[in-house]
Structure 1
Amino acid sequence: MHLLRTQPGGFVSDDNIADLGQTPAELVILCSGDSSLALLAEAAQQLPDDYPSLRLANPMQVQNHASVDLYVDQVLQHAKVILLSLHGGIGYWRYGIEQLMQLAERGVTLILVPGDDRPDPELSALSTVPAEQAERLWHFLRQGGRHNALQLFNCLAGQWLGRAYPWGEPQALPRTAIYHPVHASPQLSDWQAQWQPDFPVAALLFYRSHLQAANTGFVDVFCQRLQAAGINPLPIAVVSLKEPGCLAVVQDLLDEVDAGVILNTTGFAQSSPEAPHVRPFRRNIPVIQAICAQDNEPGWRDSEQGLGPRDLAMHIALPELDGRIISRPISFKDLAWRSERSQSDVVCYRAQPERMDFVAQLARRWVELARVPNPHKRIALILANYPTRDGRIGNGVGLDTPAAALNILRALKQQGYPLDGELPASGTALIQALLGGVSNDLESLDLRPCHQSLGLDEYAEQFRALPHANQQAVLARWGRPENDPMFRDGRLMIAGLRFGLTFVGIQPARGYQVDASAVYHDPDLVPPHGYLAFYFWLRHTYGAHAVVHVGKHGNLEWLPGKGVGLSDECWPDALLGPLPNVYPFIVNDPGEGAQAKRRTQAVIIDHLMPPLTRAETYGPLRDLELLADEYYEAQLLDPRRARELQRDILKLVRETHIDRELELDEQLDSDADAAIWLPRLDTYLCDLKESQIRDGLHIFGESPTGRLRIDTLLALLRIPRGDGRGAQSSVLRALSKAFDLGFDPLDCALAEPWTARRPAPLSAVSDALWRT
């Protein structure tokens, strides 16, 4: 382990020891929120000279045991009063709290309060002061503002440090407020006076704690970048979007200004598992998550992962539950100034203008997608091609991708999008039309015509606009663009067809003369010139308003770069840019869908998995099932016949080698050991028969019909969902209860003979042997 001095916005790894560089003091305030610490440090400058010695720190900077022990030894054990304000509860700093409890046993006054607006009885109960006194300090911190911060200091000194400073009760501040960098008490009209009449309005939501701590520099810069991108900004400070009063004020403001997009920098999720279908906002506009990163910018730039686990949880994974469009980090933590009085580094959020421009352009393009009349919209459908053989064009997992693409084209045409002439009659016809031009198949590439291409001069201009590191990586791996297989007669070919102004393209290969299956997810292989040309052409020559990557999954989201919180040097960012990206994706693989959401700002449109049905039994397995049914019936009526059937069944089991599946002994006797192997065989056959299997492929935009619809619904409803009550319960259990069968169909010994009542409606369905 190494002893490392902590840095603003940086966190020391678990295999090192963090040193905050502080000396002992009478009062130590630990806050897991940097905005609260910034406010307290600012207020501390106004305290009188004889105020008790004070230290401020973020407990998240001393996470591992060794770091906590060092801070206890250097600072905490010498304190008279320790106030801890902690987000997330005891589990987020358990070892630290255990050490604080030991200090409390030695006489240190200990006050523990939540770091947010939600009470935490488990945490607060550990305080050594009366509950009403701890709650007062909590409200000082939660209300915020310089006045409340000063009253907090005076209250602490007056109550527990023997000083006679006067103090008052916490003063409530507005929970939601419009912010303006010039006006102290701004009104909506102050912003409206600056707006351009033709620009759309973007609501910029940020935490009120930034406003209270005067940590609004990044908001000011973001507003400037939005205005430069042709957007009228409306920054709104909120305590929490989960608070109904805050949300109501925001909703009314959105309606009043006819907002076209929401840029949300607050973390977590608004939606609730108890009400999964309730929309977070009533206004039908995009919500883009702009990330205020918890880390510092140098750490982010050096990280292959990009953003750390806290940002991944707070600003990406949880907001995804609301359906927010995940964008890029727009600010990072940095040192604002050094508070010598509290021996703490005051952290601010430092704007990242280039990433702000990306998010501003993304917001602008989503607004344009709603504003541009449908006949003028250029939409590109991209079909994956993995491996890069012609027979694998439009290969989506569980999806009939060609038919899906055709359904999307038909829907676009019905809505007035620019598709001229007749569309192909079927998905197969669409693929045949695509194969009439160039594809990724190198063997036939020179034999086919090309319907669109990018001139070498145009390509070189776009190539030079890439970050220098990206240019060098491509040249080092693939050489000059003239050497690319897609280069022909001074131009780079683009695989695809145009139907009017709507484009259907074949996604390029990630490389040539390489093992396609090995490199599809390769985190290091940079794309070749032909790949770059495809997306350059889409964005700058064709001028796509949006792209639709059809089906799981393409390769764009797997290109080299950071995992989350991409930079301009990350390949998905460099190629797709701030284009709206819509992605029909199979519903049962959210993990890989998240890759597209986080790295290509994709809006995932879930589609059903293929129709499901019961596996049933066929061939020898069906013969065994019929013999078993006959055996159980003969047991009651003809025991001699039952013994003969036992021998026939065991013979067929051995001939079909099912005895190996059942792990039956070779010396097994058909009669003497029937009680062992027959129930085992019966259960095996029932398990196989009841297994859910795919029956064909799903077609996007079409619901299964007939038998497939019934079987799929049964497969989805046969087991409980959610809390398993009411409409979420198992349909099989509901039927069992309705017919008063007296058994649990999901928790029973399959294949047992049925001895209970046989309701007439069920008997009318089938005359087969009754079994569980």
Structure 2
Amino acid sequence: MLDFVCTQAAPRLRQTTDELDLLLAGVEGRFVPPLPGGSPSRGNAHILPTGRNFYAIDPAAVPSRAAWTVGQALAEQAVDAYRAQKGEPWPESVAIVVYSDECMKTNGEDIAEVFALMGVRPRYLGQTDKVVGVEPIPLAELGRPRIDAVLRISGLFRDTFPNVVELVERAVLAVAGLDEPQEQNFVKKHTDQERKRLVAEGLSENEALEQASLRVFGCPPGTYGAGVSKAIHSQNWESWRDLSQVYTLWSAHGYSSRFHGQAMPELFRSQLSSVGMTIKNESSVEIDMLDSDDFYSYHGGLIACVRDCSGQKPVSVAGLTADPARPETARVETELARVMRSRILNPKWLEGLKRHGYKGAQELSTTFDTFFGWDAAAEVASNWMYDAMARQFLLDEETRRWMEQVNDAAVLQMSERFLEAHQRGMWQAGEEELRAIRRIYMDMEGVMEDGFQ
């Protein structure tokens, strides 16, 4: 290990200073050396140094053999998490958020988890990682019913992995066509129910089966995102049900070998009505659920939509595979508390932000916005989290003065969001804290108005 650090990792890290030179080389049309993309902290030191012309993976090798091993573990952990929270043996269906960049970094662990839940395994070409199909795992070997899965893919996944979308469709058709009792095959159960409903509405048997076997949904062709963050930022919502409607508008577009982004809101919501669990996996310690509004827009919005369609709040988990040899699965509420204690409320993180002036203050405000968005969509935050952030960021004199000096707009934005959280009943604030934050907001609004005069 020491030899590897000295001869490989350290020299590669020192070369990351080449980024600016290689950026200029690319702008000037000169050669930029290639390297594969990925996460250096996930056993991929060979992708260093950064600043190279990185390339992705072979789409035909998704999921890889290594990803299949991790995906099986994630599937069983998800079932265990559901059982622990609900007291029921397993969900009939799960909904999972699938990102393109995560698929590239993990070679398809999310897809492998979907296959493991459904009870199918990838078929590989010889000893390679090239996937040539799927085959059902016998129920006796699986040891539980086949669990259905609905995928909400990102726009980039739609663009980069159309072959995987079709592979999921083949998995659904293979499992739905098995001669098994429906109580042991929820994929078959839901496909048959949906097919009968569509036939009753006037579709032919073939058309009904094509739609009933569809499990992959995303945003409209040529667009990206889930829409929820836009509603949050504009304050154009009243409750999580409004966010569910926004999510449906952005997400209910079907993808398969036959459908290429057609709007299917009824089918989408019907598929979600049987979902008891939602999943969003993360493969890097460098990124967490408060790093971007995409996290709550995709997963938080999915939680709201499942809650709206099924009539009950789902069990929601995050698969953590930064160490592929030891994957973990945590409830979203537990993961949020971990991120709060380890990063957001860590004084070292705040001190690091202070070194970046304007951008650091903006990052602080944006992080609270992301936290607020999670609570708005999924109601996963605890009151102590609001209290702690208010005390540490806004009500701490030293921190607030620093923010006012480098980015007074961030102070205004954060104080307004705290007041909004209280007004919406998301934060049960003390009267003293409220008075202080109202005063800060009014003071900063006056400063901003003076600046525009």
Q: Greater share of strand residues, 1 or 2?
A: 1
Calculate the TM-score normalised by the size of structure 1: 0.20
Larger-gyration structure (1/2): 1
RCO comparison, higher one (Cα < 8 Å, 6+): 2
